[in-house]
Structure 1
Amino acid sequence: MIELNALTRRYGRTTAVDDLTLTVRPGHVTGFLGPNGAGKSTTLRMIIGLTEPTSGTVTVDGVRFADRPRGLRHAGALLDAGDVHGGRSAVAHLWALARSNGIARGRVDEVLREVGLSAAARRRIGGFSLGMRQRLGIAAALLGDPPVLLFDEPFNGLDPEGVRWVRDLFRRLAAEGRTVFVSSHLMSEMQNCVDRLVVIGRGRLIAEQSLAEFAAGSTRAGVSVRTPDAAGLAAVLAAEGADVRPGDAGALIVTGLTAARIGDLALAHRIGLHELSTRTASLEDAFMALTADSVEYLAGEGIR
């Protein structure tokens, strides 16, 4: 379990993380979302003791990570796949981590097999592709067989097979009762692998809920309707208290009424329908709607 209590980090006059309180529980894959500059990387670094909080506390299973002499046995993390010595081999890199954390050498071979790097174990990391470095970073996170795991942008550079493997790995780790905390900008992959979401903006908590609850709260969900009499149907639905707005390719997006009720009203008013379907908001839809006021750099604004 990861617990943050009023966690704050300031850099001069800039507040990167602002009074953040949340709990990341075991048994789930928890996604960590936010626009660029929201404070996600700073938060992850504070969890594993690489950045000191300005105020507040963060613990891993009730103890500050920095107070654990053999930290990799308690929490593993992939924060930057490029942050490794390019002149070392993969096996030498992992063996150094194992020795410093009292981990048996045999575990190095196990994690290399698990991430698919056994054949490249003695190659220099400097010659690895980004996808191979990601796999090595995941191997390092798994090395101590820890109950808590953190991953920052783990899908970058992976081919489709690698993406599916990482997705399945996260689900398996959570099913084993571990705490899995994943940050990524790839919304489609997050939607496919996470159970719960933590969303921050400008360093502050915006949402902490299940994936289903988060998507259901989007204003972009509703019922999609296509009709040759869009104006007439819109007037009928508005009179029933529905919110009606234009959608793609001439469709109407209706919220506040079920598809069945819309169909009944159209029939009663002799309005023909060409399409009537429930529209579920994607994770990307919900995220964009919720964080619109927290985006620091917005494309299309022009130069001011």
Structure 2
Amino acid sequence: MIEIRDLTKRYGRTTAVDRLTLTVRPGHVTGFLGPNGAGKSTTLRLLLGLHRPTSGSTLIDGQPFAARRRGLRHVGALLDAGDVHGGRSARSHLRALAASNAIGRSRVDEVLGEVGLTGVAGRRIGGFSLGMKQRLGIAAALLGDPPTLLFDEPFNGLDPAGVRWVRELFRRLAAEGRTVLVSSHLMSEMEQTAQHLVVIGRGELIADESLAEFATRSVRTQVVVRTPDPTALTVAVREVGADVGTAPDGSLTVTGLSPTALGDLAFTRGIPVHELITRSTSLEEAFMNLTADRVDYRAGEDR
């Protein structure tokens, strides 16, 4: 279990993490979401003792990570797939990690096989693609068979088959009772991978709930209707307290009425309806709306 309490990290005048408090529990994949610059990577580095907090604390299974003598046996992490010695082979890289944590050499071959790198284990890492480096980073995280796993943007560089494999791997690890925290800015990936979501923006907690709770709270359902008398239907919808807007193609978008209620309303008012469609916003749209005022970097804006 991961416990973060009132965690703050400042770099000069910049606050990267701001009084963040949350608990990540074992048994399910927790997606750690936020726009670029939200403080996700900083939080992971604080968890691993790579940065010192300005204030607050972090515990992994009841202890600071720095207190663990053989850290890979307790926490496995992939923060930067490119942060490896390019002149080493994949096997020698993992053997060095294993030796430093008193892990047997046989485990190296096991994790190389699990991530699909057995055939290239003797090649230098400098010649690996980003996707291969991601697989090697995951192998390193699994090396000590730890109960807690942290991954920062693990889907980058993977082909579709690799993305699917990683999703299934994370779910299996969580089902084994491990704590699995996966940082990403892509709601589309977390929708298919995580069961619980933690969302931050500008270092502050925005949401901490199950994926189902997030969907129920954040996804809006609208009804798109076409009618030859949009003015009369607009008046009728507003009279019953629902919201209505007009799309560029002339159709009406109604929020606050079910399709059945809207159809019944049009029938009782004698307003003909030619089309009635239910449309829900995606979880990605819900995430974008939730974090809209916490985004520091926007493409296409004047500077």
- Return the TM-score normalized by structure 1: 0.95
User: For each residue in 1:131-177, what CA deviation from the matched residue of structure 2 results, as whole angstroms up to 9, or x when unmatched?
Assistant: 00000001111111111111111111111100110111111111111
Q: Which residue of 1 aligns with 2:70?
A: 70
Residue aligning to 2:57: 57
Alpha-carbon distance change, 274 to 64 in structure 1, aligned in 2, over 3 angstroms: farther
Residue identity matched to 1:178: R
Alpha-carbon distance change, 233 to 63 in structure 1, aligned in 2, over 3 angstroms: same
- Structure 1 residues 281 and 10: alpha-carbon distance in aligned structure 2, compared to 1, 3 A threshold: same
Indicate the residue corresponding to 1:213 in structure 2: 213
Task: Tell me which residue corresponds to 2:156.
Answer: 156
Q: What does 1:106-125 align with in structure 2 at a 5 Å threshold?
A: 106-125=106-125
1:175-234 residue CA offsets vs partner (Å, 9 max, x unmatched): 111111111223221111111111111111011111122233236433333333333222
Structure-2 residue corresponding to 1:146? 146
**2:227 is matched with which residue?**
227
- 8 Å CA contact 2:5–2:57 kept in 1: the answer is yes
Deviation larger for 95-104 or 182-191: 182-191
What SS does structure 1 have at the residue aligned with 2:63?
A: coil
- Provide structure 1 residue ranges, at least 5 long, that are not aligned to the other structure: none
Alpha-carbon offset, residue 103 of structure 1: 1.1
Assess, with a 3 A threshold, how the Cα gap between structure 1 residues 251 and 194 changes in structure 2: closer, same or farther. farther
Residue by residue over 1:77-134, the C-alpha shift from the partner in whole angstroms, topping out at 9 and shown as x without a partner, is 1110000000000011111111111111111111111100000001000000000000
The secondary structure found in structure 2 opposite 1:205 is strand
- In the TM superposition, residue 248 of structure 1 has moved relative to its aligned partner by 7.0
Tell me, in whole angstroms, the C-alpha distance in 2 between the residues paired with 1:142 and 1:274: 57
> Within 1, Cα distance between the matches of 2:252 and 2:62?
51
> What is the match of residue 199 of structure 2?
199
In the alignment, the residues of structure 2 paired with residue 72 and residue 48 of structure 1 have an alpha-carbon distance, to the nearest angstrom, of 11
Equivalent residues of 2:85, 2:125 under 8 A apart? yes
**1:32, 1:137 → 2: CA distance?**
19
- 1:209-267 Cα deviation digits (max 9, x unpaired): 11122233236433333333333222211111112234574443322222211121122
Structure 2 matches for 1:1-304, cutoff 5 A? Answer: 1-218=1-218, 220-247=220-247, 249-303=249-303
Amino acid of the structure 1 residue aligned with 2:172: R
Q: Compared with structure 1, are the counterparts of its residues 219 and 282 closer, same or farther at alpha carbon in structure 2 (3 Å cutoff)?
A: closer
**Offset, 1:292:** 1.1
- What is the identity, as a one-letter code, of the residue corresponding to 1:281? T
Amino acid at match of 2:228: P
Q: Matches of 1:248 and 1:167 in 2, distance apart?
A: 39
- Contact 1:226 / 1:276 at 8 angstroms: preserved in 2? yes
User: Structure 1 56/264 Cα, relative in aligned 2: closer, same or farther at 3 Å?
Assistant: same
Q: Please state whether the residue corresponding to 1:181 is helix, strand or coil.
A: strand
SS of equivalent to 1:236: helix
| Contact 2:36–2:185 under 8 Å retained in 1 | no
Contact 1:217 1:286 in 2 (8 A): no
Identity of aligned residues (%): 71
Letter in 2 for 1:179: T
Taking the aligned partners of 2:150 and 2:264, their CA distance within structure 1 comes to 50
TM-score, length-scaled by structure 2: 0.95
Aligned residues: 303
Q: Partner of 2:218: helix, strand, or coil? A: coil
- Deviations along 1:12-65, one digit per CA (max 9) or x if unpaired, are 111100100001111111111111111111001111111111110001111101
Residue aligned with 2:154, SS = coil
Give, in whole Å, the separation in 1 of the partners of 2:219 and 2:244.
Answer: 12
**Equivalent-residue separation in structure 1 for 2:55 and 2:97 (angstroms):** 30
Aligned residue type for 1:161: A
